[in-house]
Amino acid sequence: MAKFRCRACGREGTWVYDPERFTCPLCDSIDVHFEIFRGELPDDDPVAQRMDALAEAERKKSSPKGAED
């Protein structure tokens, strides 16, 4: 379950992640914040792909020079 908090209606709660929806599940406002864990996203979701790319870039940046996996 993903968490949400809406600034427009003031409500918060959980909902099932829908990659097509970027509005509050209660009032349909765009002024909403979501907290979605990577494990809840399908691998082909653009947000998941971006999260994976950022994690890989951070891993490469923080690993010692010349270190192998």
Q: What pLDDT score does 41 carry? A: 84
Q: What pLDDT score does 11 carry? A: 97
**C-alpha triplet 58, 41, 16: angle, nearest 5°:** 140
pLDDT in tens, the chain (69 residues): 789 999 999 999 998 888 788 899 999 999 999 888 888 888 898 888 998 999 999 999 998 765 555
Pairing of strands 12-15, 2-6: antiparallel
Is the model's pTM score more than 0.85?
A: no
Structure tokens at 18: 């829908």
For residues 12 and 32, what is the distance between their CA atoms, to the nearest angstrom? 9
Q: What pLDDT score does 6 carry? A: 96
Q: What pLDDT score does 16 carry? A: 86
